[in-house]
């Protein structure tokens, strides 16, 4: 056994609540109408290619990437386009969405639906990047950064290490865990494909040590793949954050204001590696993902393979919610966002739908800061959240910038552990918004 690795600044150990880790991935039923937002990624919204009345198949391109930092959007269902207008997002705002009434389940002919694993990688680096771009693959961890941009290494930069992020440090979520248990080989092949695209030989799959089954599975498979190693990391939050993961696995520290590529690393989520495998080996664009439906307000927690655009309320009904729901969260309980519209569609970045009971979402009143420095201890970026909060309260955003508020990764460790229950993360976020706005 190799030594368990971790990062050394801050971090917390919240309760895990991985109640859905034994639930095998099952297919969610097709929705009656799918609502597909054209902006499911960071960057410019995609340009809409279809109009009302068009018939689309599963996997048809319906919106084209607009610019470099953008991603293609494909239809996840077959049927008639009935609306191309503003739809309500999870936050209640209105954005351009394509609504498709589902008729049957007719796939594009080019997609290989044979369940057999295709192990041979024949394409060149450019071809792979092109296919990833055409398949609309984005980071599946939550941020939704377009994958081709990350894989296409800019000139003058060198990459020597690809890290596949199999760490799911958020409580409740088990989507990546199940994927690594059930589709380990596809993830490993996905890593090899990404390796080839980057032109390197080495890939590390990082998994936290509470996923023993996934680790065993991956270890068994990586024996026959040269260059792919499994690295076990400590179960600690936020171990799955990019910078913390690089620190744990390689010991390199990403300097303030820099990207992982500046320390010669590229980090991809396990779900993204799987999507890359499907895109390159099976010609299947990204139109479905694994979603964990869980939380203490759910009677039957599940891991579902969901078509993009399915309303979250469909999934919630499937998993039998309890009666007194206080909050619905997209993503994990630490970094996810509470939603006000349960009919909002599942997007490429929705890793979980959590329902929390009324009693567990109680927010106590904010107390006064007692200068205990707990927030400083737990901050994985080594910041001083209490000081940032103080500056933000007084509107001194430039002072907050001087103490590196822009390096905040918004993990929420400070708010979680503050004994006075000050919403420190909210202050950090506000300061970041204000500084970026002033530029």
What is the β-pairing status of strands 203-208 and 228-233? parallel
- Note whether 423 binds another protein by CB under 8 A: yes
Is 94 near another protein (CB under 8 A)? Answer: yes
Tokens of 101: 């009434």
- For the CA atoms of 39, 43, 45, 46, the dihedral, rounded to the nearest 10 degrees, stands at -100
Site string for another protein, 106-125 (x = CB under 8 A): --------------------
User: Could you tell me which stretch among 36-44, 99-107, 332-340, 405-413 binds another protein (CB under 8 A)?
Assistant: 332-340
- Apex 272 CA angle, 180 and 270, nearest 5: 30
Per rule CB under 8 A, is residue 435 in the interface with another protein?
no
Give the shortest CB-327-to-another protein separation in angstroms.
Answer: 9
Give the one residue of 363, 371, 438, 439 binding another protein; rule: CB under 8 A. 363
**Residue 92 contacts another protein per CB under 8 A:** yes
For residues 246 and 424, which CB has a smaller minimum distance to another protein in the complex? 424
Place of tokens 């080019």: 110
Quote the CA–CA distance of 140 and 305 in Å, as a whole number. Answer: 14
Report if residue 305 touches another protein, rule: CB under 8 A.
Answer: no
Tell me if 375 sits within 8 A of 418, measured CB to CB. yes
Terminal Cα distance for the chain, rounded: 50
| Count of Cβ atoms closer than 10 Å to residue 421 Cβ | 13
Nearer to another protein by C-beta: 145 or 330? 330
Closest to 206 measured CA to CA, from 189, 223, 229, 185? 229
Cβ-based nearer residue to another protein, 153 or 422? 422
Between 220 and 421, name the residue whose CB sits nearer to another protein.
Answer: 421
Q: Write out the two tokens for 190.
A: 């996905």
The residue with tokens 């309320």 is: 313
Per CB under 8 A, the segment of 24-32, 166-174, 302-310, 420-428 that binds another protein is 420-428
Q: Which of 19, 404, 434, 435 binds another protein (CB under 8 A)?
A: 434
Rule CB under 8 A: is residue 91 a binding residue for another protein? yes
* Closer Cβ to another protein, 382 or 395, answer by number: 395
Short-list 279, 317, 305, 292, CA closest to 30:
305
Largest separation between any pair of C-alpha atoms in the chain: 64
Does the N-terminal peptide bond of residue 240 adopt cis geometry, omega within 30 degrees of 0?
no
Q: Are 407 and 256 in contact (CB under 8 A)?
A: yes
User: Which of these ranges, 139-147, 205-213, 399-407, 425-433, lies near another protein under the rule CB under 8 A?
Assistant: 425-433
Site for another protein (CB under 8 A): how many residues?
17
Considering the rule CB under 8 A, would residue 395 count as an interface residue with another protein?
A: yes
Q: Which stretch binds another protein (CB under 8 A): 90-98, 185-193, 298-306, 374-382?
A: 90-98
Q: Is the dihedral of CA 251, 257, 261, 267 positive or negative?
A: positive
CA distance 138 to 39: 11
Nearer to another protein, 106 or 410 (CB): 410
- Segment near another protein (CB under 8 A), from 1-9, 85-93, 184-192, 274-282? 85-93
- Selected from 361, 376, 409, 420, the binder of another protein by CB under 8 A is 361
Beta bridge mates, 244? none
Q: Nearer Cβ to another protein, position 113 or 437?
A: 437
Min. distance of Cβ 428 from another protein in angstroms?
A: 10
DSSP 297-354: TBSS-EEEEEETT-BHHHHHHHT-B-S-EEEEEES-TTT-EE-S-TTPBP-TT--EEE
Q: What are the backbone angles phi and psi of residue 31, rounded to the nearest 5°?
A: -75, 165
- For residue 64, the minimal CB distance to another protein (Å) is 27
Contacting another protein (CB under 8 A), which of 93, 104, 199, 398? 93
427 binds another protein (CB under 8 A): yes
Residue among 337, 343, 360, 373 that touches another protein (CB under 8 A): 337
Considering the complex, state which of residue 26 and residue 398 has its C-beta at the smaller distance from another protein: 398
Question: Of 92 and 199, which has the nearer Cβ to another protein?
Answer: 92
Q: Which residues bind another protein (CB under 8 A)?
A: 91-94, 337-338, 340, 361, 363, 395, 423, 426-427, 429-430, 433-434
């Amino acid at each position: 056994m190799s030594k368990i690795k971790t990062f050394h600044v801050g971090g917390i150990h919240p309760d895990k609540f991985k109640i859905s880790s034994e639930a095998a991935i099952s297919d969610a039923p097709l929705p009656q109408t799918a609502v597909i937002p054209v902006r499911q990624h960071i960057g410019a919204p995609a340009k809409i290619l279809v109009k009302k009345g068009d018939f689309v198949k599963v996997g048809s391109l319906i919106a084209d990437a607009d610019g470099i930092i953008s991603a293609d959007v494909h239809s996840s269902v077959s049927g008639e386009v009935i609306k191309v207008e503003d739809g309500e997002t999870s936050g209640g705002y209105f954005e351009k969405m394509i609504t498709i009434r589902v008729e049957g389940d007719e796939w594009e002919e080019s997609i290989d639906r044979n369940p057999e694993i295709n192990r041979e990688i024949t394409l060149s680096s450019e071809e792979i990047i092109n296919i990833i771009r055409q398949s609309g693959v984005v980071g599946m961890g939550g941020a939704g950064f377009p994958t081709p941009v990350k894989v296409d290494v800019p000139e003058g930069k060198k990459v020597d290490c690809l890290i596949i992020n199999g760490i799911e440090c958020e409580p409740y979520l088990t989507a990546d865990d199940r994927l690594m248990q059930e589709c380990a080989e596809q993830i490993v092949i996905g890593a090899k494909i990404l390796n080839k695209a980057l032109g390197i030989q080495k890939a590390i799959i990082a998994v936290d040590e509470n996923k023993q089954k996934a680790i065993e599975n991956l270890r068994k498979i990586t024996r026959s793949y040269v260059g792919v190693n499994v690295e076990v990391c400590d179960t600690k939050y936020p171990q799955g954050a990019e910078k913390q993961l690089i620190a744990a696995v390689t010991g390199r520290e990403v300097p303030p204001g820099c990207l992982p590529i500046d320390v010669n690393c590229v980090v991809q989520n396990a779900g993204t590696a799987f999507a890359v495998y499907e895109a390159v080996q099976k010609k299947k664009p990204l139109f479905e993902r694994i979603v964990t439906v869980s939380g203490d307000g759910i009677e039957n927690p599940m891991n579902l393979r969901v078509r993009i655009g399915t309303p979250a309320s469909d999934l919630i009904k499937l998993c039998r919610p309890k009666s007194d729901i206080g909050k619905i969260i997209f993503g994990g309980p630490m970094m996810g966002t509470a939603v006000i519209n349960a009919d909002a569609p599942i997007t490429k970045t929705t890793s979980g739908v959590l329902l929390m009971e009324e009693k567990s979402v109680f927010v106590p009143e904010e107390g006064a800061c007692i200068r205990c420095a707990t927030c400083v201890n737990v901050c994985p970026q080594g910041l001083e959240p209490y000081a940032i909060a103080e500056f933000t309260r007084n509107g001194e955003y430039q002072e907050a910038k001087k103490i590196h508020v822009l390096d905040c990764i918004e993990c929420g460790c400070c708010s979680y552990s503050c004994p006075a229950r000050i919403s420190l993360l909210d202050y950090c976020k506000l300061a970041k918004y204000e500084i970026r706005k002033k530029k």
